[in-house]
Amino acid sequence: MNFSAIPDLTMQSHEAVDGLTVGRLAGVVREVAARPAYWWHLARFDGTPVRVAAANDLWLSVWPPGHHADPGAAVLTVLAGELSERTITDQGVAERTLRANRIRVYGADNPRELVNLGPGYALSLHANRG
Domain that holds residue 121: 22-127
Residue 8: inside a domain: no
**pLDDT of 104-118, one tens digit each?**
988 666 678 999 999
Q: 9-48: b or e for each residue (b if 16 or more CB lie within 10 Å)?
A: eeeeebeeeeebbbbbbbbbbbebbeeeebbeeeeeeeee
Above 50 in pLDDT, residue 14?
no
Residue 14: inside a domain: no
pLDDT: is 5 or 78 the higher one? Answer: 78
Question: For position 93, which CATH number holds?
Answer: 2.60.120.10
Count the domains in the chain. Answer: 1
**pLDDT of 18-76, one tens digit each?**
567 888 889 999 999 999 998 999 999 887 889 997 666 899 999 999 999 887 788 99
Residue 2: inside a domain: no
Query: What's the CA angle centered on 114, arms 113 and 115, to 5 degrees?
Result: 120
Q: Are 69 and 76 in contact (CB under 8 A)?
A: no
